[in-house]
């Protein structure tokens, strides 16, 4: 089977088999696979497969056979070669003709010396207008006895008619080759040179017209939904897709970058569900941002593309997409998330609120494979660059206990403006923090304490207020706190950082 080596088959690895095997090199893509998976097969989504069965009925059986195969590996290089050869065979059928046909494709007109001497202007025009390799030889012969004589008007007209006919046919052929038969922005001859299908506006079936992909620098012969790389990011975050979610992005735009980031991740946390069924499938394809929005569910890559799309459309100038490895149920799995820089500090947006400080996020993932920096060019299309870790500064994003205490008191005072700070409740708050019964001093009529723990990684400087307000006013505790606060006019808050968790205790009393 050609070149071999020992290693883990990437297709077997997806199925959970990470054993060392003899791997064989695919002659098309150059990757190595086990004997079961080394044979290449077509790359196509289910939607593309259904379209192909209708559009290419003459090879429907072959397409159906390749789709239903359980072995082999999806090979973009093989897919490109397959469609190139198919289109080449169709072109041969279109341009072929028999000797007895009355219609022939012009390739080249040659004339005798007699004709060239009599009509040099016509010959020069003909030679200038058409490339020699594209015309069939149609010899126009004149006998030597006519050399130097004046031709009759009938013979002259016949010669001119032939030239005019050739010119007209050439013009028609030129117009055909320079027409955009499928409306994708590429001419017939451009599509042939690139290898795309001149009769399909979207050759690879990924949702983007061929001409648009060429314009933004992506591959029109490779379905971006079947991978995760810079081509995927350029495609999914293109203005073609972003404008479909622009209405939502505009509604989430805040007065500052911090407010915009919070509103975007808060909306996604509340409205998008994780798609466990898709995650368990063998070859899940990537959703475009608007597809995730419509389905209201997706996997990590879908979350990331929707998040990044909304942020860019809402005015965030730089967005980072992280390709990381995480431990999931004892296995090393690929994962994707989004990062932003707010007030000099980097935060990671990983499906749920709140944004996590980048330094803290690094301690939880196994490995950062790649960091993609995405900005928009003057045409509103994404520019993708692979950058290093130092492009995401941790900055001063941590929160001290005093800032935490002041923020909590600010929030509860908004819920009850009559509350005043009272250091006399500090002793009671201290005991309550250790779940020990406390007794109010004699000058208080009644009181109550609340205590809970928050993961320290969730406490970031730039998102402290919206996160704490979200926590304090959660449905499961909101009614209790709101009802209790109505009866009290004094408050004291105590916070303790205990490493992984931060302990928060609030005491309210009435004098």
Rg (alpha carbons) of the chain, rounded to whole number: 35
Please indicate whether residue 349 or residue 442 has the higher confidence score (pLDDT): 349
* 384-416 confidence digits (pLDDT tens): 999 999 899 878 888 999 999 999 999 989 888
3-state class of 144 per DSSP? Answer: helix
β-strands 32-33, 40-41 pairing: unpaired
Fold exhibited by the domain 239-391:
C8orf32 fold (3.10.620)
109-118, 236-245, 287-296, range with the lowest pLDDT: 109-118
Q: Say yes or no to pLDDT of 167 above 80.
A: no
- Does the pTM exceed 0.75? no
236 within 8 A of 289, measured Cβ to Cβ:
yes
Longest dimension (CA), the chain: 137
3-state class of 433 per DSSP? Answer: helix
CATH for the stretch 401-510: 3.40.33.10
CA distance 399 to 456: 9
* 17-54 confidence digits (pLDDT tens): 878 889 899 888 888 889 988 899 888 876 677 778 87
Q: What is the mean pLDDT of residues 490-506?
A: 90
Burial-class residue 264 by CB neighbours within 10 Å (0-12, 13-18, 19+): buried
**Average model confidence (pLDDT) across the chain:** 81
218-222, 369-373, 451-455, range with the lowest pLDDT: 451-455
Residue 11: the pLDDT is 82
Q: Do domains 239-391 and 401-510 have the same CATH topology?
A: no
Q: Say yes or no to pLDDT of 317 above 90.
A: yes
Residue 103: the pLDDT is 35
Burial-class residue 173 by CB neighbours within 10 Å (0-12, 13-18, 19+): middle
> Which tokens sit at 30?
């150059």
Q: Say yes or no to pLDDT of 272 above 50.
A: yes
CA distance 265 to 268: 5
Residue 93: which pLDDT band, with cuts at 50, 70 and 90?
low
CA distance 246 to 266: 17
* 171-191 confidence digits (pLDDT tens): 666 667 666 777 788 887 788
Residue 474: which pLDDT band, with cuts at 50, 70 and 90?
confident
3-state class of 345 per DSSP? Answer: strand
77-91, 109-123, 343-357, 485-499, range with the lowest pLDDT: 109-123
> Which tokens sit at 454?
């928050």
Residue 363: the pLDDT is 86
Residue 70: which pLDDT band, with cuts at 50, 70 and 90?
confident
487 within 8 A of 435, measured Cβ to Cβ:
no
3-state class of 452 per DSSP? Answer: strand
User: Residue 159: in which H helix or E strand, if any?
Assistant: helix 153-177
Q: Say yes or no to pLDDT of 375 above 90.
A: yes
Q: What is the mean pLDDT of residues 152-174?
A: 66
Please indicate whether residue 118 or residue 199 has the higher confidence score (pLDDT): 199
The total number of residues shown for the chain amounts to 511
313-317, 328-332, 466-470, range with the lowest pLDDT: 328-332
* 235-269 confidence digits (pLDDT tens): 999 999 999 999 999 999 999 999 999 999 999 99
Domain residue extents for the chain: 4-94, 113-177, 239-391, 401-510
Q: Say yes or no to pLDDT of 66 above 80.
A: yes
């Amino acid at each position: 089977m050609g070149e071999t080596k020992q290693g883990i088959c990437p297709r077997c690895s997806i199925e959970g088999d990470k054993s060392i095997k003899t791997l064989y090199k695919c002659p098309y893509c150059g990757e190595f696979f086990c004997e079961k998976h080394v044979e290449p097969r077509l790359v196509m989504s289910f939607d593309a497969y259904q379209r192909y069965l209708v559009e290419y009925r003459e090879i429907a059986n072959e397409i159906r056979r390749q789709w239903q195969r359980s072995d082999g590996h999806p090979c973009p290089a093989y897919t490109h070669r397959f469609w190139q050869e198919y289109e080449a065979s169709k072109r041969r059928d279109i341009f072929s003709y028999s000797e007895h046909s009355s219609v022939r494709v012009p390739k080249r007109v040659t004339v005798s010396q007699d004709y060239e001497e009599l009509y040099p202007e016509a010959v020069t025009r003909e030679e200038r207008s058409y490339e020699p390799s594209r015309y069939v030889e149609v010899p126009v012969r004149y006998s030597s006895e006519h050399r130097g004589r004046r031709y009759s008007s009938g013979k002259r007209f016949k010669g001119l008619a032939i030239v005019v006919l050739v010119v007209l046919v050439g013009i028609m052929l030129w117009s055909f080759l320079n027409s955009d038969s499928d409306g994708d922005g590429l001419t017939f001859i451009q599509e042939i040179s690139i290898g795309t299908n001149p009769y399909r506006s979207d050759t690879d079936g990924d949702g983007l017209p061929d001409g648009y992909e060429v314009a933004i620098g992506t591959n029109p012969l490779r379905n971006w939904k079947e991978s995760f790389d810079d081509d995927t990011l350029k495609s999914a975050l293109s203005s073609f897709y972003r404008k479909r979610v622009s209405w939502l992005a505009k509604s989430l735009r805040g007065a500052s970058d911090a407010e915009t980031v919070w509103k975007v991740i808060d909306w996604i946390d509340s409205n998008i569900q994780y798609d466990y069924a898709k995650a368990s499938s063998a070859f899940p394809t990537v959703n475009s941002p608007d597809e995730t929005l419509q389905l209201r569910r997706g996997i990590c890559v879908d979350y990331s593309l929707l998040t990044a799309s909304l942020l860019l459309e809402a005015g965030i100038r730089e967005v980072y997409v992280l390709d990381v490895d995480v431990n999931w149920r004892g296995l090393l799995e690929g994962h994707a998330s989004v990062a932003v820089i707010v007030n000099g500090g980097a935060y990671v947006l990983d499906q749920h609120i709140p944004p996590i400080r980048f330094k803290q996020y690094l301690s939880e993932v196994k490995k950062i494979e790649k960091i993609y920096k995405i900005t928009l060019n003057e045409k509103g299309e994404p520019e993708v660059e692979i950058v290093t870790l130092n492009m995401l500064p941790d900055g001063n994003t941590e929160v001290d206990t005093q800032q935490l205490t002041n923020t909590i008191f600010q929030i509860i005072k908004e819920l009850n403006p009559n509350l005043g700070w009272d250091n006399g409740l500090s002793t009671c708050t201290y005991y309550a923090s250790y779940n020990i019964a406390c007794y109010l001093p004699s000058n208080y009529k009644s009181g109550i304490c609340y205590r809970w723990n928050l993961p320290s990684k969730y406490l970031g400087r730039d998102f402290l207020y919206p996160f704490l307000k979200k926590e304090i006013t959660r449905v499961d505790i909101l009614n209790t706190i709101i009802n209790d606060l109505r009866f009290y006019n004094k408050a004291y808050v105590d916070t303790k950082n205990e490493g992984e968790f931060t302990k928060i205790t609030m005491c309210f009393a009435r004098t």
